[in-house]
Every structure is written in structure tokens, then in C-alpha cells.
Structure 1
């Protein structure tokens, strides 16, 4: 790092390998979504199914909001400054996450799950492309295609549960 009166110059070397912390903090947050969807399926029609589904939706929305923040955070360190695609991706993910959060709180579970599925699918498609363009960490090109299907399958299960027994 070179620091002078006008600013700071960073030199970064990224590996294509997924760092172990990205494995822990990438797959770990997917576990509550998978467990919540499985529990909602298992508890279907029982008194706690509403709370389990609601918690899962709120949690999944918060993770999507976090992923929007990751895009914005990385944009601060992008060579040449934030790109339009980074800002648009951040706004889309944030909008989907916030809308899903509001829908979940208003009792519109099916809409909330659909928005979350759209958001997580977008991350799965966009992040590998953005990684090759230097707009997210390079390891995301390998991480997202194996991480996001966990959330997508879990949310699809939750969608099925809510279509069968909507609250």
C-alpha cells in the first residue's frame, strides 16, 4: 500500500481458489434457509409452521440485503471507481430483499418467496460474470454457482409449502 497526501494506492492479488473463510461464511448462512424450509415442510399444518416460515423468509431476505451490501462494498475498491453494473446490481438486490421483507411481514409469503428466488437466482448468474469483470472477488465465480442453489432449492421447497398451505 502506498499512501500520500492525495490518496492511497492498493495492490491486490486475488486467488481463483475459494478461501476457507468464504466457505465458512458462504455456506454457513445457507444452512438456516435450508433448515427453515425443511422445518416448514415437516411442520406443515401445525401451529408453528407460520413462525418457521416467517423466520426463514426474514432471514433469507436479510441475507439478500447483505449480498447487496457486498456489491456496494466491493465497488468502493474497484479499480477506476464503482461501475454502473455494480450499482445497478446492488440496487436490484436491495430492492428485491427489501420488498421480500415487507411482503413477509404483511403476510404475503408466496410473493416474498418469489422475490427471494429471483434475487438469489440473480446472484447465482451475475456474480460469476461480475467476478470475471473484476467487480466482485474472483472466487465468487466458483462460489456462487455452488452456494446459491442451496438457497434456491430451499426457497422452492418453502414456496411449495406456502402454495399448499398459505398463511
Structure 2
């Protein structure tokens, strides 16, 4: 049996969130929040529908980000990276197919996974270092919007 290759954190990524990642990281989440606020305050189902489709699309994109990062992990993809990709992809697709209440719950779990899985992945070199700061705040913003959509029911 061969020993696993050593795991070293990626040193090629900054610890601070790059400016472009601030815009591209928080921008889509703010759209979810704004749609959630609108759906809840205006009781506008069209805004909730837009939030659902947008949120599912972004979650599906984030599943691809998880898979893409695995291609650059020293020693090859980790099971946690593949599981994260599968979870986000499955929840994103499920949100488009499930009844509304379950769809919102699937999306909430999918976005909450950002705060749960990404900081350890960043510390272990399986994601850029700045994901430890970026992802929990992204998750909080998105989940707030999704909860508002769920409540707008």
C-alpha cells in the first residue's frame, strides 16, 4: 500500500479577498437577498420565482467551482471535494424540481454548505485561502434572502 502524498496548503492564493472576488463573490448573493426582500415585503411571487431560479443556477455554478478546484489540489481530488460538488449539484437540481417549500429548504442547505465546508477546505489547501473569509459571509447573505422567500410563501 502506498502512502498518501503529503498535503500542503496552497501558497499561491492570497489570504485577503481579492477585489474582483469581492464583486463576483458577493454580487450574486446580494441579488438573492434583494429578491428575497422584495418577495417578502411586496408579496410578489414573481420575485420569489426569480430568486429560486437564480439561486439554483448559482448553486449549480458553485458545484462546478468545487469540482474545478479539485483539479488543482495537490495529490488529486479529495473525497470531500467530490462530495461537496455532488451535494451542491444535487441540491441545485432538486430545488428546480421539488415543491416550493422543499425547494427553499434545499437551497438553504446548499448555501449553508458554503459556510460549513469552505473554511476547512481553505485551511487544508483544497480551496483558495480567502474562501475561509468569503464563503461564510456569502452563505449568510444568500440564506437570509432564501429564508425571506420561504417566509413569503
TM above 0.5: yes
Instruction: Return 5+ residue gaps in structure 2 as ranges.
Output: 1-9
Moved over 6 A (4+): none
Cα distance in 1 between the residues matched to 2:11 and 2:120: 20
CA deviations 1:32-73 (Å, max 9, x no partner) are 1011111111221xxxx2221111101001111111100000
Q: 1:75 aligns with which of 70, 84, 91?
A: 70
Give the greater-gyration-radius structure (CA): 1
Cα distance in 2 between the residues matched to 1:54 and 1:147: 21
CA RMSD in angstroms, aligned pairs only? 1.3
Cα distance in 1 between the residues matched to 2:127 and 2:61: 14
Cα distance in 1 between the residues matched to 2:12 and 2:67: 20
Alignment of 1:52-131 (within 5 A): 52-103=47-98, 108-131=99-122
Higher RCO, 1 vs 2 (CA within 8 Å, ≥6 residues apart): 2
Residues paired across the two proteins, number: 144
| Offset of residue 12 of structure 1 | 5.8
Cα distance in 2 between the residues matched to 1:127 and 1:59: 21
Alignment of 1:37-52 (within 5 A): 37-44=36-43, 49-52=44-47
Cα distance in 1 between the residues matched to 2:46 and 2:72: 40
* Structure 1 residue aligned with 2:127: 136
* Structure 2 residue aligned with 1:36: 35
Cα distance in 2 between the residues matched to 1:128 and 1:73: 17
Instruction: Return 5+ residue gaps in structure 1 as ranges.
Output: 1-10, 163-167
Question: TM-score, length-normalised on structure 2?
Answer: 0.90
CA deviations 1:141-165 (Å, max 9, x no partner) are 0111222100111111111111xxx
